[in-house]
């Protein structure tokens, strides 16, 4: 957790409402950090349903394996998250730590172990001493309270410079329901997924398979469309919990993903996922600028996404933006190396509203002065049209600065 807040941090934070059926508590367990919270517990009332999306890394953490094992049950009563140690690449010791943690959490919440969800974030390869904090879980569950969303977001931070939390309202069958979300992430961010950790909760009465359908679809253009450094974490976990408490106020229980009453909820959920994902990018390690990459005119949407990620992940494009240099030649390079259909002589590139390249050469109206002035902004938009078809995609990234190297050069020390 940095002492210097990113210049791209939100200027205002929302006041987080309570979600009926959710209580939260945090503690200083001293796992790695001193003088700050690093342990968070979220307790759910009986009947809470859950959905999840996880990293596609072939070296997933022990908590990811544990969550995947419990997810088919569709029920959740308690979530335990620690920061400072990822419990990843820890072998048998990692599995033993999750087992110990799950047993303690189940006892504390008075539930079955398959209703427990775990997440860890921090250093990879260090065994997690779960016995150092598992005894705290009973007290945490007892003193958990509904309003501690900001505190929850702070407790799960690692190299983040600010907590990430959002709320939204939506109509479900004529009843107003609430969605709250928190996230953490600043480095080792790349599809698929790209959030490190994110936890979203709602009081809507929605069945687990419907939650899963919405979450899986919702990540495609949100958490799976952001990248800080092209590095996919071992620990990425996005969980969505629905307590169903709004049923007491007349909200209908939704059991079919095609139910037309879901429209407003789906839009609100996707909005929260996108804004949390963008907050992660805006807090990219050492980031000074946010970059939106739009690719249009590709042969197919998948092709457009690959080209957009090739641009967004290029260290040369990212350092050019950091240096406020309108070096569109690096964008041409990134398009060319993506391995997707492209025609040099049909390519058009914009930086913001400034067309810099057209029909395979520099735009005749190109003005270095005007484009250089644009590059001084906090938010930069790069648009590429391939002129080949109707495929399009948008991804978000940040610039690559000296601070990124400094943060990651001594991350373990």
The annotation status of 394 as a binding-site residue, yes or no, is: no
With vertex at residue 139, the alpha carbon angle to CA 133 and CA 140, rounded to the nearest 5 degrees, is 75
The annotation status of 318 as a binding-site residue, yes or no, is: no
d(CA 161, CA 183): 12
User: Is 37:28 a contact under the CB 8 Å cutoff?
Assistant: yes
For residue 378 the two structure tokens come to 């906090």
- Would you mind telling me the total number of residues written for the chain in this entry? 413
The annotation status of 383 as a binding-site residue, yes or no, is: no
The annotation status of 184 as a binding-site residue, yes or no, is: yes
The annotation status of 126 as a binding-site residue, yes or no, is: no
Q: Work out the burial of residue 91: count CB atoms within 10 Å of its CB; fewer than 13 is exposed, 13-18 middle, 19 or more buried.
A: exposed
**CA terminus-to-terminus distance, the chain:** 13
110, 43, 41, 97: which is closest to 65 by C-alpha? 97
The annotation status of 392 as a binding-site residue, yes or no, is: no
Task: Indicate the SS3 state at residue 218.
Answer: helix
Strand 237-242 to 197-202 pairing: parallel
For residue 333 the two structure tokens come to 């390079």
Strands of the sheet with 78-85, listed across from one edge: 22-27, 39-44, 78-85, 116-123
**Cβ-based neighbour number of residue 250 at 10 Å:** 10
Alpha helices in 110-228 (DSSP H): 137-143, 149-155, 208-220
User: Is 49:240 a contact under the CB 8 Å cutoff?
Assistant: no
With vertex at residue 63, the alpha carbon angle to CA 217 and CA 21, rounded to the nearest 5 degrees, is 65
- Write out the catalytic residue numbers: 195
d(CA 373, CA 369): 6
Tell me the binding residues for substrate: 158, 184, 195, 285, 408, 413
Tell me the binding residues: 158, 184, 195, 285, 408, 413
């Amino acid at each position: 957790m940095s002492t210097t807040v990113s210049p791209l941090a939100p200027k205002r934070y929302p006041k987080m409402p309570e979600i009926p059926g959710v209580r939260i508590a945090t503690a200083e367990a001293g796992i790695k950090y001193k003088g700050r919270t690093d342990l968070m517990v979220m307790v759910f009332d009986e009947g809470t349903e859950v959905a999840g999306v996880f990293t596609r890394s072939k070296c997933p953490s022990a908590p990811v394996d544990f969550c995947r094992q419990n997810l088919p049950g569709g029920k959740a009563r308690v979530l335990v998250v620690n920061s400072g140690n990822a419990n990843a690449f820890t072998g048998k010791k990692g599995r033993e730590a999750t087992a110990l943690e799950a047993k303690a959490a189940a006892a504390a919440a008075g539930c079955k172990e398959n209703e427990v969800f775990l997440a860890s974030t921090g250093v990879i390869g260090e065994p997690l001493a779960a016995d150092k904090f598992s005894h705290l879980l009973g007290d945490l569950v007892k003193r958990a309270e509904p309003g501690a969303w900001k505190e929850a977001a702070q407790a799960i931070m690692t190299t983040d410079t600010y907590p990430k939390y959002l709320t939204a309202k939506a109509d479900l069958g004529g009843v107003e329901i609430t969605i709250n979300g928190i996230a953490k992430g600043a480095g080792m961010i790349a599809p698929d997924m790209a959030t490190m950790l994110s936890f979203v909760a709602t009081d809507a009465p929605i069945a687990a398979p419907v939650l899963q359908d919405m979450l899986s679809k919702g990540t495609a253009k949100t958490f799976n469309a952001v990248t800080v450094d092209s590095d996919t974490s071992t620990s990425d976990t996005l969980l969505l919990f629905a307590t169903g408490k709004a049923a007491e106020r007349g909200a209908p229980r939704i059991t079919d993903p095609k139910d037309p009453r879901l429209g407003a909820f789906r839009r609100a959920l996707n909005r929260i996922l996108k804004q949390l994902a963008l907050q992660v990018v805006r807090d990219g390690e050492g980031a000074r600028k946010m970059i939106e990459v739009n690719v249009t005119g590709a042969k197919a949407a998948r092709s457009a996404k690959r080209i957009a990620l090739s641009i967004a992940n290029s260290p040369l494009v990212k350092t050019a933006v950091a240096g406020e240099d309108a070096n569109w030649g690096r964008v041409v390079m990134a398009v060319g190396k993506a391995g997707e259909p492209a025609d040099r002589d049909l390519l058009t590139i914009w930086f913001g509203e400034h067309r810099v390249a057209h029909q395979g050469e520099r735009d005749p109206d190109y003005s270095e002065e005007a484009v250089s002035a644009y590059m001084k902004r906090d938010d930069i938009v790069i648009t590429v049209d391939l002129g080949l078809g109707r495929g399009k995609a948008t991804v978000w990234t940040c610039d690559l600065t000296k601070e990124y190297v400094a943060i990651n050069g001594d991350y373990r020390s």
